[in-house]
Structure 1
Amino acid sequence: MRPVDPIGELAAAAGYDDPERWWEDVVEHRGMPAFEGIAEAMTAIRESFPEDPDDLVREAYMRTVLRETRKHYDDIAVVCGAWHVPALTRKVAAKDDAALLKGRRKAKVAFTWVPWTYGRLASGSGYGAGVRSPGWYHHLFATADEVVPRWLVDAAGVLRAEGVPTSSAHVIEATRLAEALATIRGRPLAGLAEVTEAAEAVLCDGEPLRVNLINNRLVVGERLGGVPEDMPAVPLAKDLAAQQRALRLKPSALDQDLELDLRKEIGLGRSRLLHRLRVLDVPWGQPPPARRGGTGTFREEWRLRWQPEFAVRLVESSMFGTTVVAAATSKVIKAAADAETLAEVTALVETCLLGDLGGAYPRVLAALDTRAALDADVNHLMAAIPALARTLRYGDVRQTDVAGLATVTASLLTRVCAGLPSVVGSVSDEAAAVLRDRIDGVHSAIGLLSDDDLRERWLATLASLAGRGDLHGLLAGRLTRLLMDAGRLDAAEVRRRLRLPLTVGTPPAHGAAWVEGFLSGGGLLLVHDDELLGLLDEWLADIPAAAFDNVLPLLRRTFGAFEAGERRAIGERISGKRAVVLEGGLGFDPAAADLVLPTLSALLGHKINAAEINGGAINAGAINAGAINAGAINAAEITAGAMAAGAGTGHGRRTGDSAGTGDSPGKGDSAGRVGEGAR
């Protein structure tokens, strides 16, 4: 960035605090030739400030090229920044320029013309021109008369396109207001400030969102330039095209599903490329809307779709580097330096892992150390842990060095365990919901880490909090469920704790929040525990009519999150559809059993036949939870009727909609049911 803003200096000398307004009054609104005056002003500014060595070298080369061009052409137009005009018009000896350029090594470069957007013109960094209002200046340049009314007509059109009622009367009154403001302020014409204030007051009714809409659509603008089709691509686009060919990924405007095996070099390379492009705001690959329920660390699923605007985003990202990996690395480093929260930095750690951005990792880790040391907010610390745990978990399969990250993660968890008791007491409903999500995130993250000490420390913290009287019902229920799932609470203790918020005298809203927290993540527990279901049923029946409307949204949200099969099973139990005892069983059909014997033989590890099953050689103990687990025998493997409920000579019992084995209720929605006492 140049150490001086020349337009700002000229505006300040004229008594303006806004350079844009000075430019409008002196240049845009006067309609007179301005080139000579601007050149003279730039000369005066440059004489008042020390020269930039980089500018001197650039301008020496400009003059060298200009001399060479004048040997072949008479009429020459030079397009350059106003700052450089004095350097190109004054006479400098060729030998002086040659001396300034002497000793500098020549570098081979690739260059091209790129389409420009008004949004990039409005940017003051990188290759942006620093023009804050390109759309407004385009309007001034293209409109010969009635500048203010025409602008406000366009603003009204933008609002009407978004469904905001705007009439011609609004435009007339806004025009009068803008002109009145210009008169009061002593300006020759209403400028951008006046028309914006008039539009905000009359067209937008003071709504900031409407003002922002006009600013984005008109003041900045959405125009996109163009270049000839035969123009060479920018180096970044060339590098991407080369990687697409090497990885056999062809851009397509249609959706393409892609499944990657990260154990293979090509799968890992494709994954890294897609993640790097997402860093550059080129989301060519997106996670599909519905993922399969796998938990492996070596498989990824993507949905690819190339969009035309990605070409422009590649041009915009060229300011960060000429290759995909270099640009992504530079952008992550910049994001780490600009990050305002700990969660933002931890997300960048995961980005470095997924995109294999080793050049950015040390800088990001240093930023993480700094943020973690300075941030005392437990919510921020908890939000940071899941991304770090995923990074540690999946670092090996991606062949990524995550040295130093385990220490940072353990330190964060220690601070969370120490600080969590002070933030969970007497919180609002909104804060409780946020804390519930944070606790769930940390709990899931602990499960990804192979560290028993961290797990014990975390569970001990949850156990110390679960019984507190000042705990919000949502948090109390959730902590109880997590401790039960971890084996820290038995069924009797869980029932005892459930009775407390569901007793008479406890506000129904507190009980509903407790139930919501306890049942978050699934309702199979109610299917398999009649006593818990009975307690909940009795509590619902006893809620006073006046309070029922208040707790109904909570209950609807809780049960609405269950799977359809879970809700159906709970409904069947509540309605009285329980186990049915059959006298003599359903009989046995050897022909039907023969259809599934190959599958059973493969599952049990030895060949069996119908006679062995019918004779009792394979009983409920032989087919146990270890031999045939939940979901191992599904509807495709056991056809309806091949093994009926209660098949054999014993008495069968249905287990809802699940396949069960022995005395244990099964899990899943298998079509075949193995009843209790199956022989």
Structure 2
Amino acid sequence: MTGPLLLGVRHHGPGSARAVRAALDAASPRAVLIEGPPEGDALLPLAADEQMRPPVALLAHAVDDPGRAAFWPLAEFSPEWVAIRWALAHDVPVRFIDLPAAHSLAMEPDAAAAPPDGPVGTGPTGVDADDPADPAGPADPGHPTSLADPAGDGPTDATAGTAPAGSAPVDRSWPTAPADSAPADASWPTAPAGSAGPAPERAGAEGACVESDGAGPGAEGGPDQPGAEGQGDAAGPASVRIDPIAMLAETAGYDDPERWWEDVVEHRGRGEGSAGSDPYAPFAALGEAMAALRETYGHGGHDRDLVREAYMRTRLRAARKEFGDEVAVVCGAWHVPALARKTTVAADRALLKGLPKVRTEMTWVPWTHRRLARHSGYGAGIDSPGWYGHLFTAPDRPVERWMTKVAGLLRDEDRMVSSAHVIEAVRLAETLAVVRGRPLAGLSETTDAVRAVMCDGSDVPLDLVRDRLVVGDVLGEVPDDAPAVPLQRDLARQQRSLRLKPEALERELELDLRKDGDSGKSRLLHRLRLLGVGWGEPVAGRGSTGTFRETWRLRWEPELFVRVAEAGVWGTTVLSAATAKAESQALAATALGEVTALAERCLLAELPDALPVVMTALADRAALDADVSHLAQALPALARSLRYGDVRATDAAALGEVAAGLAERICVGLPPACSGLDADGAAEMRGHLDGVHTAIGLLPDAAAMTGRWHTVLRKLADRESVPGVIRGRAARLLLDDGRLAEDEAARLMALALSPATQPAEAAAWIEGFVGGASGGGLLLVHDERLLGLVDAWLTGVPADAFTDVLPLLRRTFSAYEPGVRRTLGELVRRGPAATAGPAPEEAALPGFGHGLDEARADAVLPVLRLLLGIDDNDLAGVAR
């Protein structure tokens, strides 16, 4: 035995996974070391549990700040997962050797944005300087000396006696050269929770992808590219970032790094004669290539890689002291040269000294294929997790089996796809591979064949194939006994009892609140929303609009496990946590609208213990708030809460009293509050007017309050100091409720559109009366007298004022349905006979349409004589 077996891999590559399994079978090591945080060692046995279904991820988060978290995803085709399962199946010790999550999560945001690569362990193993789990007791905080050679008398080389990576193995039974690997990433785990969510799948995904902590083809410029790793003493500039796969592909004459990777790695083992190939040779070749790249480019300016690799070497030394040289190391291929590099214990300890540290907890959580995709923001992501999973699990004829899957999907979507389509698609894919000089058909060939044969050249159905199969929505499972915070356990219990299983694929859920099961689901979803766990979002339903119906859009994302951990500070059950958070928000809220919205959410979530606290806060804020706009903004939420309370059999008597008091204060204060407003203030108040009008109809004593409200609306419609948009809206609300006759509405419109009114103010009145989505267009269609008034006014607007009113008019009429606008245009085109509108001069006066009343006109002459100080003859001449 000449040294440990260094297996440089690609974190999510089926070719690397097959090669690792073959190398482990051939070498039979006494221990397996894997790139990942050591806190996860205690949770590794769960990987053999029958309930464990990849993809899964190890979640690490700070105990005092659960939002500071990171994931280490593992798929069935991940080399690390294969190595873990192999070790557990052969009763071989398996351990993680990367920098502990306690250090990586404690580093500055720019350094910790991409945690170390490698799988993570889970479980409540808090690690800090005083943690008993650290038996050696580090000399200084964050210095993990317990896992290094404590005496400092171990080998001075991390792989002493081992041939450098890439050299020929001295003993074929225990080779030292790395095998069928690919460039590894600088940081395998995903960015901390809260990073960018899934995005639409990227077209043109090849059959390979580079898991480089933020590097690799398609991820250039990431925070931790493979080319950013290194020793720091290389000849190349430390600030240069490279994509190792791209450089190797370019050297091999490929213009596409992904295609090169697929040809040399993913197709390995799929062709004829591959069974007898040397399982170690590819590791040796890639090890040499990585050594050459690191010698040229160094660590790329990322000093944290030096720390990580120093820690890996200390763990490797400790394992060699325990198990000898028969140790296999599965890590990113980019790290292989650093692990084979000769360094002293003192040098590595110097790099690890003084690292920051936080107490952490870890656990297994389900993951999804979609979150493995690079477009999701995952630095070590791949383009085609579904395709990779197919390549890894297909026992034979992967192209034929893939085409069969595609055909099944398209048939489910009612597309005509026959067996002949499948046969021709396979032939075309194989032909394309030959024409392009590829050893076997890859994803690019199969995609082109599917587009041409099954999709008739269209990318629309092809996008469905990419989304459902190339990427996929597979959701993993973890054992019930996996470590979790109490809140997570209670949530899982309720999910099982309500038969509300988390799913990665977005779906809509229709609930009937009259049913106990559906009402329980509604309560759970509303409580989770209050806790900030956005599993479901309410949407407009397609069926009944009754209050007993609810429609939710559900989609479970792995980041929600972090949100649940964060919400665990409020309680150990969903009910207690939601109640505690609601009470805290009620006491902290300063705006009346915040408290009313919270009261509505408490009723929807059925939090009876929190409601008294919220109602007390609501009464206090309402009594102290004298701003009518705040009161008007708060009333609709209270009215909705009362309505929902009736449906859910919730006692909302106290809420009704507060709502009635708010309505009384609004009726008193609204008329003076609407006077003297500018355009923006008037538009905002118009919205409040609509909300209050709807809310008053939902109050328990609606009949008495409605009469009071109509009186307020009449005052607003008649008061000249009120902006036109509010006066027009008040008149329209009265007309809709039958409290304003059509003749009276026409009179108010005539006054508002008279020549004495400024054109902009008249246009604002029109906007309030017939604007928006309130059916104003249909009103004009069916009441041609009102349309005639508008048409007569518009044709009489002076040219210099027309440009000022045009934006208001366009905003008013653009909200109408196309059919309504077309009908109005036809009515106006017919002329005055169709619109039945009076002449502009007559329309400007009360009593229009009946001619000039000379007796009424003469009645003002005596007053004019007194005002002007002239005799009757002169006044008669003026009148004439």
Distance in 2 (CA, whole Å) between partners of 1:349 and 1:297 is 17
Distance in 1 (CA, whole Å) between partners of 2:511 and 2:639 is 22
Which of 504, 509, 519 lines up with 2:770 in the alignment? Answer: 519
Residues 516-553 of structure 1: CA deviation (Å, up to 9, x unaligned): 10013122111110100111111122222222222121
Runs (5+) with no aligned partner, structure 2: 1-106, 108-127, 143-189, 196-228, 242-357, 365-477, 835-880
What secondary structure, in the 3-state scheme, does the structure 2 residue paired with 1:276 have?
Answer: helix
**1:75 alignment partner AA:** A
Q: How does 1:594-673 map to 2 (within 5 A)?
A: none
How far 1:76 sits from its partner (Å)?
3.8
Counterpart position of 1:47: none
Aligned: 1:308 with 2:558: yes
How far 1:252 sits from its partner (Å)?
1.6
Residues 314-369 of structure 1: CA deviation (Å, up to 9, x unaligned): 11111111111111111111111111100100001101110001111000000011
Which of 547, 554, 558 lines up with 2:801 in the alignment? Answer: 547
Cα 1:281–1:534 shift into 2, 3 Å: same
Counterpart position of 1:385: 635
Residues 8-38 of structure 1: CA deviation (Å, up to 9, x unaligned): xxxxxxxxxxxxxxxxxxxx9xxxxxxxxxx
How far 1:267 sits from its partner (Å)?
1.2
Distance in 1 (CA, whole Å) between partners of 2:619 and 2:231 is 58
Q: Is the 8 A contact 2:193 2:559 kept in 1?
A: no
Counterpart position of 1:491: 742
How far 1:309 sits from its partner (Å)?
1.4
Q: How does 1:40-189 map to 2 (within 5 A)?
A: 75-77=136-138
Distance in 1 (CA, whole Å) between partners of 2:830 and 2:561 is 62
**1:402 alignment partner AA:** A
Counterpart position of 1:281: 532
Q: Is the 8 A contact 2:660 2:699 kept in 1?
A: no
Distance in 2 (CA, whole Å) between partners of 1:269 and 1:555 is 48
Q: Is the 8 A contact 1:116 1:226 kept in 2?
A: no
Counterpart position of 2:597: 347
What secondary structure, in the 3-state scheme, does the structure 2 residue paired with 1:340 have?
Answer: coil
Residues 405-431 of structure 1: CA deviation (Å, up to 9, x unaligned): 111111111111111122111110000
Distance in 2 (CA, whole Å) between partners of 1:281 and 1:548 is 50
Distance in 1 (CA, whole Å) between partners of 2:626 and 2:814 is 36
**1:343 alignment partner AA:** G
Distance in 1 (CA, whole Å) between partners of 2:557 and 2:713 is 47
Cα 1:75–1:436 shift into 2, 3 Å: same
Distance in 2 (CA, whole Å) between partners of 1:319 and 1:519 is 51
What secondary structure, in the 3-state scheme, does the structure 2 residue paired with 1:233 have?
Answer: coil
Aligned: 1:433 with 2:716: no
Which of 709, 712, 716 lines up with 1:465 in the alignment? Answer: 716
Which of 504, 528, 531 lines up with 1:253 in the alignment? Answer: 504
How far 1:495 sits from its partner (Å)?
0.4
Which of 495, 515, 529 lines up with 1:244 in the alignment? Answer: 495
Distance in 2 (CA, whole Å) between partners of 1:303 and 1:427 is 41
Cα 1:392–1:266 shift into 2, 3 Å: same
Counterpart position of 1:573: 827
Distance in 1 (CA, whole Å) between partners of 2:744 and 2:240 is 70
What secondary structure, in the 3-state scheme, does the structure 1 residue paired with 2:692 have?
Answer: helix
Which of 213, 227, 233 lines up with 2:362 in the alignment? Answer: 227
Counterpart position of 2:810: 556
Distance in 2 (CA, whole Å) between partners of 1:296 and 1:74 is 63
How far 1:574 sits from its partner (Å)?
2.3
Distance in 1 (CA, whole Å) between partners of 2:504 and 2:193 is 26
What's the TM-score, normalizing by structure 1? 0.53
- Aligned residues: CA RMSD: 3.8
Runs (5+) with no aligned partner, structure 1: 1-27, 29-61, 82-114, 121-141, 155-222, 581-679
Q: Is the 8 A contact 1:235 1:323 kept in 2?
A: yes
**1:328 alignment partner AA:** A
Distance in 1 (CA, whole Å) between partners of 2:491 and 2:833 is 62
Aligned: 1:476 with 2:727: yes
How far 1:227 sits from its partner (Å)?
3.5
Distance in 2 (CA, whole Å) between partners of 1:74 and 1:331 is 39
Distance in 2 (CA, whole Å) between partners of 1:274 and 1:282 is 9
Percent of aligned pairs with the same amino acid: 52
What's the TM-score, normalizing by structure 2? 0.41
**2:593 alignment partner AA:** A
Cα 1:291–1:562 shift into 2, 3 Å: farther
How far 1:291 sits from its partner (Å)?
4.1
How far 1:403 sits from its partner (Å)?
2.3
Distance in 1 (CA, whole Å) between partners of 2:497 and 2:750 is 63
Aligned: 1:272 with 2:272: no
Distance in 1 (CA, whole Å) between partners of 2:614 and 2:620 is 10
Counterpart position of 2:669: 419
Which of 755, 758, 768 lines up with 1:504 in the alignment? Answer: 755
Q: Is the 8 A contact 2:363 2:483 kept in 1?
A: no
Distance in 1 (CA, whole Å) between partners of 2:561 and 2:362 is 12
Cα 1:534–1:469 shift into 2, 3 Å: same
Residues 560-595 of structure 1: CA deviation (Å, up to 9, x unaligned): 212233223323322339999xxxxxxxxxxxxxxx
Which of 695, 717, 729 lines up with 1:445 in the alignment? Answer: 695
How far 1:436 sits from its partner (Å)?
0.5
Counterpart position of 1:533: 787
Distance in 2 (CA, whole Å) between partners of 1:458 and 1:385 is 14
Q: How does 1:357-376 map to 2 (within 5 A)?
A: 357-376=607-626
Counterpart position of 1:394: 644
Residues 293-331 of structure 1: CA deviation (Å, up to 9, x unaligned): 844121111111112211111111111111111111111
Cα 1:390–1:79 shift into 2, 3 Å: farther
Q: Is the 8 A contact 1:117 1:225 kept in 2?
A: no
Cα 1:497–1:242 shift into 2, 3 Å: same
Work out the number of aligned pairs and report it.
Answer: 391
Distance in 1 (CA, whole Å) between partners of 2:720 and 2:786 is 22
Counterpart position of 2:428: none
What secondary structure, in the 3-state scheme, does the structure 1 residue paired with 2:745 have?
Answer: helix
What secondary structure, in the 3-state scheme, does the structure 1 residue paired with 2:662 have?
Answer: helix
Q: Is the 8 A contact 1:346 1:368 kept in 2?
A: yes
Q: Is the 8 A contact 1:475 1:514 kept in 2?
A: yes
**2:719 alignment partner AA:** R
Q: Is the 8 A contact 1:417 1:457 kept in 2?
A: yes
Counterpart position of 1:674: none
Residues 645-676 of structure 1: CA deviation (Å, up to 9, x unaligned): xxxxxxxxxxxxxxxxxxxxxxxxxxxxxxxx
**1:435 alignment partner AA:** M
Q: Is the 8 A contact 2:586 2:595 kept in 1?
A: yes
Q: Is the 8 A contact 1:287 1:301 kept in 2?
A: yes
Distance in 2 (CA, whole Å) between partners of 1:293 and 1:512 is 38
Q: Is the 8 A contact 1:385 1:409 kept in 2?
A: yes
Distance in 2 (CA, whole Å) between partners of 1:448 and 1:466 is 23
**1:571 alignment partner AA:** G
Residues 177-197 of structure 1: CA deviation (Å, up to 9, x unaligned): xxxxxxxxxxxxxxxxxxxxx
Cα 1:153–1:486 shift into 2, 3 Å: farther
Distance in 2 (CA, whole Å) between partners of 1:79 and 1:347 is 50
Cα 1:363–1:74 shift into 2, 3 Å: closer
Residues 173-229 of structure 1: CA deviation (Å, up to 9, x unaligned): xxxxxxxxxxxxxxxxxxxxxxxxxxxxxxxxxxxxxxxxxxxxxxxxxx9999353
Q: Is the 8 A contact 1:118 1:224 kept in 2?
A: no
